[in-house]
Amino acid sequence: MAKIEHVQGDRRIVETPTEARQGEPGPSVLALLTISTIAAGFVLAIVWFVFFRT
> Which has the minimum average pLDDT: 3-7, 9-13, 27-31?
3-7
Considering the entire predicted model, what is its pTM? 0.52
Beta bridge partners of 11: 6
> pLDDT, tens digit, for every residue of 15-42?
888 777 777 667 788 899 999 999 999 9
Q: Mean of the pLDDT values across residues 5-9?
A: 73
For residue 4, what are the contacts with CB-CB under 8 A and spacing of at least 6? 11, 12, 13, 14
